[in-house]
Structure 1
Amino acid sequence: MGRAEARRARQRGARRAEKSGGGIRRFFTWRKLLGTFFGFCLLAMGAFYVVYLMVPVPGPNPEAELQSNIYKYSDGTILARSGKVNRSMVDIDEIPKPVQDAFVAAENKTFYEDHGVDIKGTARGVINTLTGRGKQGGSTITQQYVKNYYLDQSQTVSRKLKELVISLKVDQRKEKPEILEGYLNTSYFGRGAYGIQAAAQAYYGVDADKLTVEQAAYLAALLQAPSQYDWTSATDTSKKLVTERWNYVLNNMVEENWLDAAKRSGMTFPVPQKPKGAPGMEGQTGYLVEAANQELMRQNEDIKEEDLKAGGWTITLNIDKKRQKELEEAVKQQLEDQLDRKGNKVDATVQAGATSVDPKTGRVVALYGGVGATEHWVSNATRRDYQPASTFKPLVFASALENGSETQDGRQIGVNTRYDGTSKRPVEGSDTPFAPENEDDVSYGPVTVQRAMNKSINSVFAQMIVDVGPAKVKKTALALGMRDGEAFVERPAMSLGTMGASTWDMAGVYATLDNHGKKVTPSIVKSAEHKDRTVRLVEQSGDQVVSRETADTVTSVLTGVVKNGSGHEANTSAYAAAGKTGTSENNKAAWFAAYTPELATVVALFGEDAEKGTQVTLTGTANSGRANGGGFPARIWADYTLDALGGGSDAEFDLDVAETASPDPEPSQSTSSSPSTSATPSDKPSEPSHTPSSTPPTRTPSTPTTPTSPTPPTPTSPTPTPTDGGTGGDTDPDPGTDPGSLDDKPIRQ
């Protein structure tokens, strides 16, 4: 090939290459690219329009309109409303304009001008979701309202697209104030508070219409991270962040001319209050509601806490509204009005608890859990961390009767069986040494079981539990209604009530004795209804757990304690009563457990250092020395019972006793270290009688004159130191003296 041909060939190749490149350039011209882009946009807009038409505005999600639980008194009147969502809806007109502005400044300054969506923010959220880089940001108030009220909190592309579409529709259909109202009522603020009203109460203890601008700015800032920004539990870093956010909100308000700059410069950060119980649970209400919830869950394993929080329950309690009020008033008048909780360190530690039960049905008709559920959440009515002390002694005697037990010298134990009441007398027949000291180290010599119960003589019941057998006594106690536990140890010290128990437990035990030995299980729930559940309730009265003769004999003895013993503060001609006092070691708890034929009630005082979480002595309560069971608890019991029975009752105990109870009379005794001796026929007194008063008594029951008791003799027997612990007993004051005089005696430490 010549040079000319080669040149022509190169030129033809170049032209072909030029034609090829020019074709690609002609295909990707800017006009075609622009047309393709607009075509894609039109296609996307068409697709979005189809989605817009297909996606309706749904109804509210279940969370947005969760029902509260309704709790009622036994007569059907409303006690409380509660549920999973602590929410109280408020109209936008009830929310001050500056408070509204604070939230708009924090979340969406263009709220009043936009069309309900933030395209950039939504696009960013979609990209973040697709790439796994976390939650979206930049949503408008309308979008957040739609998410809270119509959708859910899931982070998916489909949910975000629905949010966008529904937000546009909602913005068209609703006015801005209505949208803002919905947003403020559905947002979660932490502390279990949903909505601005619940948040205002939870963080500042005021209603939404009383919020200041500073407080509103904090709540608005809080929405970004409720748990992290809660000031009372926040880290230093979180406190710094929420403070910066608070300043950001206020500065935005100034920028939008919603807040005067001069006023803004003088504002300081409003530290919120410490968390409290849910609104509506103040006073005794929270204790009653919690007791009902716990009972429902205990009786129905398929009912969980989350089920109750979900709402929709109508729960009627056995609580008698009138008796509940009377119990609260009795505690106030007989105890709280006597205390100086702010000026007296001992008074500040006093906790009162009480449970009142109908012995025929087991219904808990009144309950006192403490000073208030939002101030002291632990219910003093149901707590089991204190010893019941000498209120356990009747159970030792009941077990002796039920088992036909005998003394060490072979005599069957009964009401008039004599025991040695010498203080610090070592028990006989036990592998575990035990020599308990009586109250104030008083020795009584030979005494009947009746007198030992009246005087709550420790040494007698320590020997009796050995005679019966600790294991048998525990079995009887559990059958009567006490709860087992690590502290319920089968040894002689158990006779002094060294295990843990609640007023609820002991009310059931004493109600069972009142019910002639037929088991009574305290129950606070009368009925529980839910459209999606079937609820069963246990029988409140059950089997015969001890014989009628045993129960009635114990009742007969306990009437003597009220008439002539440590429970004399409850004695009145207005009603028949049987009961027992109890004061635990170091005076950390004081009890009075007693009943009439119609009502069984247990009242207790506990010494508690709430800050340290420790039990402390009650000595010095109301500047009156020792707070024994025969003092404040007995007076509260008497005050309440008198009114609960309508000023009194003619009902009598219908007793089938094994042996006639002795109200008190005893021959003179001399101290003896020998084992108990048999009672002579002349020592057996007649059964006590009860004559109701024809005149209704005043609120405070009358106190009769107690027959003169013999002077306790000086012990001559050895007095070894107890090796198994011990619990102080309760003694009645000497006749003719001020019942409170015992309080001046030093307590055994």
Structure 2
Amino acid sequence: MQKSHSTLSQSPKSAVNTLPSQQRGLVFSSILLIIVIIGMVLLALYLVKLDRTITHKFEGKRWDIPAKVYSQPLELYQDAKVDNDTIKSWLELLNYRSNKSYDRTGTYYKSGNDYFIHTRGFSYSAADVDKEQVIKMTIADSKIKSIQSTEQNASGIIRLEPVSIGGIYPDNNEDRLVVSLDDVPQPLIDALVATEDRGFYEHKGVSVRGIARAVINNFTGGARQGGSTITQQLIKNFYLNSDRTMKRKVNEAMMAVLLELHYSKDEILQAYLNEIYLGQNGNRSINGFGLASEFYFDQPLSELSIDQQALLVGMAKGPSVYNPRRHPNDSKARRDTVLNNMLTIGTLSREEYDKALEKPLGVIDKPVDGKSRFPDFLDIVKRELNDVYYSDDLKNEGLIIISTLDPITQMAADKAVSKKLGELRRNGTKTKNLQGALVSANPETGELVAVVGSGSEFTGFNRAVDAKRPVGSLLKPIIYMTALESGRYNLASSVDDTPITVNLRDGGDWNPKNYDGRDHGYVPLTTAIAQSYNQAAVRLGMEFGIDTFAKQLRRLGVEAKVPDYPSVLLGAVNLSPMDMLGVYQVFATGGFRTPIHSIRTVIDDRGRILQRTGLNTQRSIAPETNYLTNYALQQVVKSGTARRIESLGSNLNLAGKTGTTNDYRDAWFAGYSGNYVSVVWVGRDDNKPIGLSGGTGALPVWVDYMNRLKLTPVSMPEPEGIEWLWLENNSGKLSNERCANARYLPVMSAYLPEEASSCAIELYEQDRAREQMQWQSQQGNINQQRRREGLDIPNGEAIDEQNNQNNDGQQEGIIIDGPKVRKLVERALEWF
């Protein structure tokens, strides 16, 4: 009983102890549940945040895409002046490969004079797309005899795609060429999936099998192996970083699953192909297979062979470790591994596999992408763009810029400057550090076609635009243009080349001298400009005033402030080669000014045209004035300081002007053919004397450059207000072709000479007297005939027969009275 009582008496106490324990468990469970719920809510919120992060970037602007700059295309059409060398050079610049079957884009075949070219096509805008096509073309006598294409063309003009000349890169220094999945060869996709993620099309972002395999290999001492899927790799590269932390790994896995929930496998794969890091070009990263193809093989992705595609896929594991330029053996081993993976999963046959293994790496020695072939021209394009667009838009928006660069012309400029400066530098100590600049444009359109403004490595100082130097005698044509425009002078007028003293504002005197140290007295205007006489130019310039000279410069497009001291008449004003190119462009086009420009079109990433440069042409000089100025500049070539240009062909009627500054510090030449206007400057950056004149320093460079081009003659149309007359040279008076000092020259109709030379008057009097005698003789014979026939002789026509007989015997000795001679002279002047 006691035992039983004792047992019963303990039951209440046990119940009391059990109740708090249950309550504690319930509280703990509740707290745990709350924690779990809060955790799930926080996780959900975190997942929502991750989800928004993913969709915001994936559906928005994924990358900062650099702007790409291209040359003008090569236009091919019937009878176009294109020779074999031009076609060869252009195809080399585009890295086209010779292939007898020409069955792939970027290939061609030449048989005799016939070309078969399989073009890549190019998009100039959404509405202007050249499809890939095969061109059959025959070239003979330096022009296209016939041309055919597999694509219809209403215009008759087929364009060979432009050459890439560089880019404008984002601040993050990432460079990429975005490609669509349709542009990616299927073997590359097969290689990528076989090597990086064989379950890519089955998993939902994360591969449990891959993770397990990686863990086993890593713990058993096998080769370290990652378990990341292609989707996870994209997440890591696109959103995260490469930190080896658990947090990053967890985020990577969750974001990979979320990404797969939102987007298709193709969208994910395309993003991966454009995001993957595949190398380094200086301070810029090479991202995406599209750019890597250009960087390593100088070919579009679609033209790579299977072994080349496998090499790029292999580099995805480690671009620095498997860099084919630095570690060719490791790179080849990795490439072969990728090929073996393709063989294993059946996307590559044994025959294809064996053939691919035998191939060399085929990587180009020096990458052309990233580093511009033509940095000076690209610099000018950037400057022109910066005047219109924000810097971020140029760096990030994927713009396409079609420039005015002609690659063939640019290479001619590079070769000419390199060759001739090299020769001049060997002349002595003064020329050892010689520098130069060359600019060239199409005069009719104002399109800049070639620029040389720096050394072998571009430093940012582009002498074509940044070197502001005295231009010397390049400005003298403006003085003579002003004189001709005034009507006081014509091309045969006399100008004074005797010593001149100009009083300066500070009370001093200026006594300009000729470069040859001689005075030439009164000389014809064309001689003064052809021989570049300083004294004559200053005297003529002061006659019309420095203000007039400055206004004329502004008419010709010079925006720089022109000093108001007399020495500006001899070029003591600092201007750049580009400034002078604009001036001579006006002379070359009959007086029309078209601003020099380097851009044709700007296209955004959707193919919309943002800018198209049209012809903004204005009349700067009256056509009659420019016609006479052009004639004077042609005399510089025919008989003046630029006579060596005649070696290019006397039938070209080239025109130009040499320029030399004080102490022979700067040498210039500016001139033009029918299709090129070009300016050359030669000097030293430290402004020390070089001992070269325009004729010995700049002119050889200009001649070498122009000699490499296909020049057309200067054939300026004659304006209505021009007449050609015989003028007495060195007086400008009317003359006669039989006079010893007569020249047949163009003259403005509004300003015909009012005086005749003594030689012309004498010849005219003789001609009129001879005509009078002939008339009298004829009239006498008529009168005699009438008398024999018994007819009356009309009043005023009776001629004394005796005088007539005397005239027959002494025609040369006839003397006409003075008043009659004066009347005849007046009539002669009216006739002139």
Contact 1:363 1:540 in 2 (8 A): no
Deviation digits for residues 510-530 of structure 1 (CA, Å, limit 9, x no counterpart): 121121112232222222222
SS in structure 1 at match of 2:708: helix
Q: Does 1:83 align with 2:158?
A: no
1:686 to 728, 740, 743: 743
Match of 2:408 in 1: 322
| Residue identity matched to 1:83 | I
- For residues 601 and 626 of structure 2, what CA distance do their matches in structure 1 show? 30
| Residue identity matched to 1:627 | L
Match of 1:185 in 2: 277
SS in structure 1 at match of 2:380: helix
- For residues 506 and 206 of structure 1, what CA distance do their matches in structure 2 show? 52
Q: Does 1:55 align with 2:51?
A: yes
SS in structure 1 at match of 2:450: strand
1:288 to 354, 372, 377: 377
Match of 1:352 in 2: 436
Match of 1:589 in 2: 666
Displacement of 1:502: 2.3
SS in structure 2 at match of 1:475: helix
Mark the CA change 1:46 to 1:587 in structure 2 (over 3 Å): closer, same or farther: same
| Residue identity matched to 1:44 | G
Match of 1:633 in 2: 698
Contact 1:354 1:602 in 2 (8 A): yes
Contact 1:450 1:661 in 2 (8 A): no
- For residues 438 and 673 of structure 2, what CA distance do their matches in structure 1 show? 16
Deviation digits for residues 601-630 of structure 1 (CA, Å, limit 9, x no counterpart): 11111311xxxxxx32351xxxxxx22211
Contact 2:72 2:404 in 1 (8 A): yes
Contact 1:149 1:186 in 2 (8 A): no
1:438-453 correspondence to structure 2 within 5 Å: 438-453=514-529
Contact 2:69 2:165 in 1 (8 A): yes
| Residue identity matched to 2:163 | I
Match of 1:617 in 2: 688
Structure 1 segments unaligned to the other structure (5+ residues): 1-21, 95-111, 117-140, 153-158, 214-276, 405-411, 609-614, 620-625, 667-676, 690-749
Contact 2:532 2:641 in 1 (8 A): yes
Q: Does 1:463 align with 2:462?
A: no
SS in structure 2 at match of 1:352: strand
Match of 1:513 in 2: 587
Deviation digits for residues 287-311 of structure 1 (CA, Å, limit 9, x no counterpart): 222322333444xx4x223222224
Deviation digits for residues 89-111 of structure 1 (CA, Å, limit 9, x no counterpart): 899999xxxxxxxxxxxxxxxxx
Q: Does 1:599 align with 2:676?
A: yes
Structure 2 segments unaligned to the other structure (5+ residues): 1-16, 75-160, 179-187, 193-209, 215-229, 242-247, 296-319, 329-366, 747-832
Mark the CA change 1:603 to 1:687 in structure 2 (over 3 Å): closer, same or farther: farther
Normalization by structure 2: what TM-score? 0.52
Q: Does 1:335 align with 2:410?
A: no
| Residue identity matched to 1:77 | P
Contact 2:169 2:175 in 1 (8 A): no
1:563-582 correspondence to structure 2 within 5 Å: 563-572=638-647, 573-582=650-659
Match of 2:35 in 1: 40
- For residues 187 and 325 of structure 1, what CA distance do their matches in structure 2 show? 29
1:88-237 correspondence to structure 2 within 5 Å: 88=176, 146=235, 149-150=238-239, 165-166=254-255, 185=277, 191=283, 193=285, 208-211=323-326
- For residues 178 and 536 of structure 1, what CA distance do their matches in structure 2 show? 30
Q: Does 1:475 align with 2:551?
A: yes
Relative CO higher for 1 or 2, CA cutoff 8 Å, sep ≥ 6? Answer: 1
Contact 2:726 2:734 in 1 (8 A): no
SS in structure 2 at match of 1:535: strand
**Stretch deviating more after TM superposition (61-70 or 593-602):** 61-70
- For residues 675 and 270 of structure 2, what CA distance do their matches in structure 1 show? 57
Match of 1:136 in 2: none
Match of 2:816 in 1: none
Name the Cα RMSD after superposition.
5.4
Mark the CA change 1:533 to 1:322 in structure 2 (over 3 Å): closer, same or farther: same
- For residues 115 and 165 of structure 1, what CA distance do their matches in structure 2 show? 20
| Residue identity matched to 2:674 | P
Aligned length: 524
SS in structure 2 at match of 1:546: coil
**Identity in percent:** 20
SS in structure 2 at match of 1:506: helix
- For residues 663 and 497 of structure 1, what CA distance do their matches in structure 2 show? 31
Displacement of 1:209: 3.8
Contact 1:430 1:466 in 2 (8 A): no
Mark the CA change 1:538 to 1:210 in structure 2 (over 3 Å): closer, same or farther: closer
- For residues 601 and 631 of structure 1, what CA distance do their matches in structure 2 show? 17
Q: Does 1:544 align with 2:634?
A: no
Displacement of 1:392: 0.8
Match of 1:527 in 2: 601
Larger radius of gyration: 2
Displacement of 1:540: 3.3
Contact 2:481 2:629 in 1 (8 A): yes
Match of 1:500 in 2: 574
Match of 1:704 in 2: none
Mark the CA change 1:29 to 1:315 in structure 2 (over 3 Å): closer, same or farther: same
Q: Does 1:379 align with 2:462?
A: yes
Mark the CA change 1:678 to 1:434 in structure 2 (over 3 Å): closer, same or farther: farther
2:390 to 290, 304, 314: 304
- For residues 726 and 645 of structure 2, what CA distance do their matches in structure 1 show? 18
| Residue identity matched to 2:636 | V
Displacement of 1:644: 2.0
SS in structure 2 at match of 1:482: coil
Contact 1:356 1:600 in 2 (8 A): yes
- For residues 397 and 651 of structure 2, what CA distance do their matches in structure 1 show? 45
Match of 2:72 in 1: 73
- For residues 678 and 590 of structure 1, what CA distance do their matches in structure 2 show? 33
| Residue identity matched to 1:399 | T
- For residues 361 and 650 of structure 1, what CA distance do their matches in structure 2 show? 17
Normalization by structure 1: what TM-score? 0.57
Q: Does 1:361 align with 2:445?
A: yes
Displacement of 1:595: 1.4
| Residue identity matched to 1:66 | I
Match of 1:7 in 2: none
Mark the CA change 1:211 to 1:618 in structure 2 (over 3 Å): closer, same or farther: farther
- For residues 424 and 726 of structure 2, what CA distance do their matches in structure 1 show? 35
Displacement of 1:632: 3.6
| Residue identity matched to 2:164 | L
Displacement of 1:451: 2.0
- For residues 394 and 558 of structure 2, what CA distance do their matches in structure 1 show? 28
1:14-25 correspondence to structure 2 within 5 Å: none
**Stretch deviating more after TM superposition (309-318 or 142-151):** 142-151
- For residues 87 and 512 of structure 1, what CA distance do their matches in structure 2 show? 41
| Residue identity matched to 2:435 | Q
Deviation digits for residues 665-694 of structure 1 (CA, Å, limit 9, x no counterpart): 87xxxxxxxxxx9989679641489xxxxx
Match of 2:6 in 1: none
- For residues 551 and 253 of structure 2, what CA distance do their matches in structure 1 show? 68
Displacement of 1:546: 1.4
Greater fraction of residues in strand: 2
